Amino acid sequence: MNRIEKKWKELKRKGLKAFIAFVTAGDPSLQDTYKLVLEMEKQGADIIELGVPFSDPIADGPVIQASAQRALLKGVNLNKIFQLVKELRKKTDVPLVFLSYYNPIFHYGVKKFVEDAVRYGIDGVIVADLPPEEAKELKIFSSKKWLDTIFLAAPTSSKERLIKVAKESTGFIYCVSVAGVTGVRNSLAQTLKNRVQDIKRITKKPVAVGFGVSNTKTAKWVASFADGVIVGSAIVKVVKDNLNSKDLIGKIGRLVENLALSIHKV
């Protein structure tokens, strides 16, 4: 059993929904990411997604694009992120999931990537531009290890595709709330609820909803029908607004605390 599976069991026992928080690794610096991860865990994040920056992030809106760009300018790469993970693992057992695009992984070498990810303490990987059809190589290696491969279910996915995504996913299923890129949105379509229920009829695996969840109200609503709520851009936006602030960690902590409360209360 890896840390993600343990976490879902623990949450289920307590009757809680999961709060999954995203930050880009290395924005504004790897030292800050280290502190942010520990703070977010302390304030109630159940699973933490670390964004692996990529130069051409086609599934991301302006907030996360700019964040990745800031990290790349600092010279962040997979090797350095693995060192960060290694340091984090001395302090925490919070489940850590990579959110990446395929090329940095492919270029690193898929086999080596999986081995190193597991060795340093990564529990799962989400690849934004890798549908199950193209994931054979990643699956071959990850299935031998305890590295979860989390695929995305989209609002446009047909039933056949949902079945495929559910079958190939381990850890949880990432349900994309809207057709579009990542980013802050004021509200989400009511149909999202039906979508999550469609997926839950297909699979017993946990379903977490991401893209556009940006305030406590939406987070609470999503938590009422999904197993987990993923918040990315709203957190990264606060990072961006506090790049030079001494209170960066504190501000993110308070945001995460509020989100965690609204999700866990459901």
Site string for another protein, 26-65 (x = CB under 8 A): ----------------------------xxxxxx-x---x
Name the DSSP class of 185: -
Q: Strands 148-150 and 124-127, how do they pair?
A: parallel
The verdict on 161 binding another protein (CB under 8 A) reads yes
DSSP alpha helix (H) spans, the chain: 3-14, 30-42, 62-73, 78-88, 102-108, 110-120, 136-142, 159-168, 191-202, 216-223, 233-241, 248-264
Among 6, 12, 107, 144, binds another protein (CB under 8 A): 107
Kindly name the residue from 60, 116, 148, 227 that is annotated as catalytic: 60
Taking the least distance from each CB to another protein, the nearer of 131 and 238 is: 131
15, 90, 156, 204: which one contacts another protein (CB under 8 A)?
Answer: 156
β-bridge partners, 125:
98, 149
Part of the chain binding another protein (CB under 8 A), chosen from 42-50, 91-99, 128-136, 220-228: 128-136
Residue 49 among the catalytic residues: yes
**Contact with another protein (CB under 8 A): which of 180, 198, 205, 261?**
180
Alpha-carbon distances of 67 from 57, 235, 243, rounded to whole Å:
11, 11, 11
* Start-to-end C-alpha separation, the chain: 27
**Using CB under 8 A, which of 30, 37, 128, 260 touches another protein?**
128
Which of 2, 77, 92, 215 touches another protein (CB under 8 A)? 77
Query: Using the rule CB under 8 A, is 158 a contact of another protein?
Result: yes
Query: Among 35, 38, 106, 198, which residue interacts with another protein (rule: CB under 8 A)?
Result: 106
Catalytic residue check, 123: no
Told to check if 78 binds another protein by CB under 8 A, we report yes
Is the Cβ–Cβ distance between 148 and 141 less than 8 Å? no
- 3-class SS of residue 131: coil
Q: Is 72 in the site for another protein (CB under 8 A)?
A: yes
108 lines the binding site for another protein (CB under 8 A): yes
Helices 62-73, 233-241: inter-axial angle, 10-degree rounding: 60
User: Contact at 8 Å (CB) between 223 and 229?
Assistant: yes
Q: Where in 195-234 is the site for another protein (CB under 8 A)?
A: none
Q: Which of 48, 50, 152, 192 binds another protein (CB under 8 A)?
A: 152
SS3 content of the chain, % helix, strand, coil (to 5): 50, 15, 35
The whole-angstrom separation of Cα 161 and Cα 164 is 5
Instruction: Kindly list the residues in this chain that would bind another protein in the complex (CB under 8 A).
Output: 54-59, 61, 65, 69, 72, 77-78, 101-108, 128-131, 133-134, 151-158, 161, 165, 176, 179-181
Catalytic residue numbers, as ranges: 49, 60
